[in-house]
Structure 1
């Protein structure tokens, strides 16, 4: 008979894992206990990725083939040592989200069938001022992960030119994320506007390969750089998060030198444990190099002078200052009628 629970010693905490034999990844056969053991194995890395950040949780109580619960609010019924950070959404409403400060909190969440963790780019000390600029390289239909890697190489070259340090990781699905640590001096609209200016520079350098068009119908078969991942309440899967795919891939930090030769499928719940035991966290120095936004703020000023202004926000945002009409282009043409 399967054990109804096990108790694990995680640091100074005892964490109960209920139904450890419950299968969460049917195709690969991975259980809840496998998921927990994975997060323990990469503990230093996952805690570094989440530390002090408000974090949203993607839960799969019936396994990844079942219904998913995208949970922004940390459960009120929780151990006293599970911490939270209060955030405000674009709607003006607020919530207390999980705020990881130690590995036991990650294991506690995994016991709730949290497969992947989605942290904010800001920390609890000042949730309104991000300390991370996120460059989301998102291959669109008709493009490939190889195309994404080509774009990431241009991102690296551009960051090098302006003296920024970027830290790449696979998304665990189709794309590539590059994180740049920044001084937490600017609020979300400023950071997002800088991310837009950076994305447009990459588009300028590779116009046949890259797009910053927000509307999908305008992107074509190109790689989209999603500047809106820097808007308030937009999150991405953290480094070391398992993804809800049948093969249990992982959002894997890699070095720039590795990136040209890797594939998403190289990094799974199983293989990442061996890699971490061998290499530790290849991005252990991510918090040691902090960049300012002055160069990108200059790019923003240049764009404004040239008449190149804002771009659309996500649909859940109120109308933002300087934002162009948030109307799908084909719909706008239809509403305008014949010319």
Structure 2
């Protein structure tokens, strides 16, 4: 213990007293610490500041509720984050406020969020990756609502392991048109011998995901995706758009292939979206598609019941699929 100095040591005969921390100053410090701890309740071992701040007016969800949801859903979310570079969408002021899309750490303090080797993206700051639940909760504490991942893993970042089609509709279209466009996409891929998976975007559309073996480069994957979209638009020009922009999808659905470029990302399965009601992007089976009614059906309030009752509809093992020269030649020739 540090000792308190006497005012006049040469004349004072009183013994020097040690500070014990139990006096007024010590009590005040302990009170401040207790107050700080009470203001930052732990969720999964991570202190959450401003826990009762409303982040979504529609649902009344608080910052702590979002963190608790991510702790509940972590076993389903982590397999989709682990091993992949990711971006985060932060909404420090809540869903109705300004959002920030971040691929790098910046000034954020998240000890359990990995910063990857700078050689993976040498012209930019180090990429991020989350491999454990504590990293998810630290990100939530920093105002993160959404988690987006690359279509490649960090151990072979030059070889994508999936293709993603994001079906983005004219908002005026009925759900039946989304069902139709999704089925058209699945059927065309199946005609080329490719199996695909489905998940809701958590917004208005659907995501069609084609798992791949890691043999093709980004140019091959993105080129193949673009030609699939162009084929769909050729076969149903009154229903499918191959060009982005609201003016190009009036009365149509844009099958977005642009998420298949190096550095692009897509919201992860079981990630919350920074939208009113806090909807979640959720994997589904094809047989569920027509009965969904909307792509934002599941939220932080009702998803866990689905998972407890049905589990994850995606198979544990992804099929080993390759984009062959025969497939590419057939697309180019219009066959």
Task: Tell me the TM-score normalized by structure 2.
Answer: 0.81
- Whole-angstrom distance in 1 between the partners of 2:197 and 2:99: 29
Paired residues for 1:160-309 under 5 Å: 160-214=190-244, 216-262=246-292, 263-285=294-316, 287-294=317-324, 297-304=325-332
Structure 1 SS opposite 2:222:
helix
Deviations along 1:2-54, whole A, 9 cap, x unmatched?
A: 93112234xxxx32222221211122110111111111221122111111111
Instruction: Extract unaligned runs of 5+ from structure 2.
Output: 1-34
1:143 matches 2:173: yes
Which is greater in Rg? 2
1:45 corresponds to: 76
1:322 corresponds to: none
- When residues 160 and 73 of structure 1 are mapped into structure 2, their CA distance, relative to the original with a 3 A threshold, is same
CA-CA distance at 1:87 after TM superposition: 7.1
CA-CA distance at 1:106 after TM superposition: 1.1
- Whole-angstrom distance in 2 between the partners of 1:201 and 1:87: 38
Structure 2 SS opposite 1:117:
strand
CA-CA distance at 1:237 after TM superposition: 1.2
Task: Tell me the TM-score normalized by structure 1.
Answer: 0.80
Structure 1 SS opposite 2:321:
coil
Moved over 6 A (4+): 87-90
- Whole-angstrom distance in 2 between the partners of 1:173 and 1:89: 31
- Alpha-carbon RMSD across the aligned residues, in angstroms, is 2.5
1:36 corresponds to: 67
CA-CA distance at 1:279 after TM superposition: 1.9
Q: Is the 8 A contact 1:55 1:117 kept in 2?
A: yes
Instruction: Extract unaligned runs of 5+ from structure 1.
Output: 307-339
2:53 corresponds to: 22
- When residues 89 and 171 of structure 1 are mapped into structure 2, their CA distance, relative to the original with a 3 A threshold, is farther
Identify the range of structure 1 (201-210 vs 31-40) with the bigger mean alpha-carbon deviation. Answer: 201-210
- Whole-angstrom distance in 2 between the partners of 1:298 and 1:144: 36
Matched pairs, number: 299
